[in-house]
Structure 1
């Protein structure tokens, strides 16, 4: 068994698509109209047939309080592996991405946390113990 699809709730799918492709570097995989929303997924350019990330509308009444609580407590909604957290931090900050946590080394892991502009905190991580 492997993970096929995961999702992150977003407050604006068009804005999320721009952020996740232009700032984070993902590729659009699927974009299908579903009523007023879209089935909109992105993938890593390093694994275009791998796990998809659904940019899911946050319209359900339970979602906004859930997202707000995570942000309030500084908890990332998702975590993405990178080769070099410091390099990605510098690259993305140069693009105007707001980080809530600068690169932090915790044993074998280095992490940083950013605001995805769509209501979520996202963590980037590199672990010296496992491949990115």
Structure 2
């Protein structure tokens, strides 16, 4: 299959409508990716909106009781890394106190997550 390279320049040339359709198709059925896209959309509304969405996710993680198998642990680790990145890039520059509070809250999720996992390969602790 010959064609153009998959890079930012070529994707930008597709235009917003096509990219939006492709993104919706790509995240369909993947809750973690859907949450990431929702957080990115909320970021345009300011740090308080992003913080509210992050807090909702933290509550869901805190309430969960089931054991996390390895694939779920990897997804959770990726999600939590993405949340830290979102806090650093979208909240911290304009609301450092709020960013600290969210990072502190995320830190306190560790014990509950650890109780629900066997992280002997270190996916959550890197």
TM-score category (smaller protein): under 0.3
Structure holding more helix per residue: 2
TM-score by length of 1: 0.26
Q: Which has the larger radius of gyration?
A: 2
TM-score by length of 2: 0.27
- Report which of the two has the higher share of strand: 1
